[in-house]
Amino acid sequence: MGKLQSKFSIHTTKYRADGSMGEVGPAQSPPQHCPMHSDAVTSVAALKLDLCVSGARDKSVAVCSWRSGAVLRRFTGHQREVTKVTSAPDSNRVFSASRDKTAMMWELQGTSGPNQRFVAHDLVVTGLAVSPDASQLCTGSRDNTMCKWDTETGQCLRRVITFRNLVTHLCWVPREPYVIQTSEDKTVRLWDMRQLEVAHTFPTKQHIQTCCDVSPDGRLCLSTSSGTAGEGCEATLWDLRQTRSHVCEYKGHFQTTTSGVFLPWGPALTPSIATASCDGTVKVWDRDTAACLATLYLDGAGPLSSLAACDSSTLLCATSNSGIHVLQLRDRVEPALEEVAAF
């Protein structure tokens, strides 16, 4: 099984919003499906219906049902660890990036091999974003470059080098020709994809910016920070409208915050975001007040690498040691985050 545990730990610790400890498992064991990958899962993204796509250190890309844990497709072709996966809404194409310096496109109804390869970077590809219509791809790398691609032809339309811009993550702004990018140089950039040029650089943070996400309405951006012993480790909300300013911060993790996502709005929930950290916890926050609504510690999961929001109350969390966990946000007197399955 490589480094991935063949049997998942089922102990979880729930914390109240004030940080005090609640129940400790294993009071009820969530369903443990067969692991989707044989090594650490590095990235997960939600697809249409009840599907998700994931990438891992085992070099594979997999599509499965997050409700049943059934693997529907497995794609192979990368020579080294997969670093990122993504897809456009309502598209039958998924995309992956890898330490082998390439990005690839896969057809859900196609063969197990890549439908398109994108080769232009000199180092690991660490950023991946696809346009809403899936016609263009944006990639970024630790080689300080950003590339714009035609997904049909595989042609690199433009390549830009920015000094010290070690890309960590990319996210396409819905319905706009813009991409948000985070970097090891502690900045968040807004790129205009029409000419692949920087349209705005947000104020520099104190720590490496590890991940980014954009709200469904395209008005807000979230970035997450590295850190240790509670210093740094925050998520930051930015306004993408005219002010393009820092709105608020979400502080409570004790190690690097590796991922942050906006939860789709639901009728019973306040606008919320979720974050995951190397400290093994997932937190849900009130987007507007920065109050922590719920915390879940995944015992034995190791550093958490990636989050994906399936709907207003369901999250997928990729982990280093125990695959992908399905988490449910329960709407009670006090909101509670619970693990309901793992695969």
The per-residue pLDDT for 48 is 86
Mean pLDDT over each residue of the chain, to the nearest integer: 91
Matching CATH number, 79-200, of 3.20.20.70, 2.130.10.10, 3.40.720.10, 3.40.50.300 = 2.130.10.10
> Residues 277-311: pLDDT tens digits?
999 999 999 999 999 999 999 999 999 999 999 99
Average pLDDT over residues 323-343: 90
The per-residue pLDDT for 267 is 64
Per DSSP, the three-state class of 271 is coil
List the helix and strand counts (H, then E) for the chain.
0, 32
Task: Decide if 168 contacts 208 (C-beta within 8 A).
Answer: yes
Q: What percent of the chain has pLDDT over 90?
A: 80
Alpha carbon distance 239, 248 (integer Å)? 10
Q: Please check whether the two domains, 79-200 and 205-342, share a CATH topology.
A: yes
The domain made up of 205-342 has a fold known as Methylamine Dehydrogenase; Chain H (2.130.10)
Order of strands, sheet of 136-141, starting from the edge strand that comes earlier in the sequence: 125-130, 136-141, 145-150, 156-161
Cβ-based neighbour number of residue 290 at 10 Å:
17
Alpha carbon distance 157, 148 (integer Å)? 5
Alpha carbon distance 54, 96 (integer Å)? 9
DSSP notation for 300-339: T--SEEEEEEEETTEEEEEESSS-EEEEEEE-SSS-EEEE
The per-residue pLDDT for 4 is 44
Q: Please tell me the pTM assigned to this model.
A: 0.90
Looking at this protein, which amino acid is placed at residue 251? Answer: K
Per-domain residue ranges of the chain: 79-200, 205-342
Q: What percent of the chain has pLDDT over 70?
A: 91
Looking at this protein, which amino acid is placed at residue 13? Answer: T
Residue 132 phi/psi, 5-degree rounding, is -55, -30
Order of strands, sheet of 188-192, starting from the edge strand that comes earlier in the sequence: 167-172, 178-183, 188-192, 197-201
